[in-house]
C-alpha cells in the first residue's frame, strides 16, 4: 500500500525541482490531504492470509528465527 502512495507522490510531486524543504512538506501534505478527502481505496488482489503467508516466507528467509511466528 505504501509503495502505491510513494509512487503517487513521486509522480505528482517529486517529478520537478522543489526550492525548499518547507515547500516540499506543504506539497506532500496537500497531496496526502487531497487523497484522504477523496477516500482513495486500494483494490487488493489477494487475501490477508495469502499476504501474511507470502510476507512471512520472505521474512523467514532473511531472519530464520521468525519461523516460530508462522501461523498454521
The tens digit of pLDDT for each residue in 28-54 reads 999 889 988 998 777 778 787 887 777
| Residue 71 pLDDT level (bands cut at 50, 70, 90) | low
pTM equals 0.52
Domain count across the chain: 2
Q: How far apart are CA 6 and CA 11, in angstroms?
A: 8
Give the C-alpha distances (Å, rounded to integers) separating 4 from 10, 44, 63.
Answer: 10, 12, 26
Identify the domain containing residue 60 by its residue range: 45-72
Residue 59, pLDDT score? 66
Q: 29 and 61 in one domain? A: no
Q: Given a cut of 80, is residue 18 above it in pLDDT?
A: yes
Residue 22, pLDDT score? 94
Q: 32 and 18 in one domain? A: yes
Amino acid at each position: 500500500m505504501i509503495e502505491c502512495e510513494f509512487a503517487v507522490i513521486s509522480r505528482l510531486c517529486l517529478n520537478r525541482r522543489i526550492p525548499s524543504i518547507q515547500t516540499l512538506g506543504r506539497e506532500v501534505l496537500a497531496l496526502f490531504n487531497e487523497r484522504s478527502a477523496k477516500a482513495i481505496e486500494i483494490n487488493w488482489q489477494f487475501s490477508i492470509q495469502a499476504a501474511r503467508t507470502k510476507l512471512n516466507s520472505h521474512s523467514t528467509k532473511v531472519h530464520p528465527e521468525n519461523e516460530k511466528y508462522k501461523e498454521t
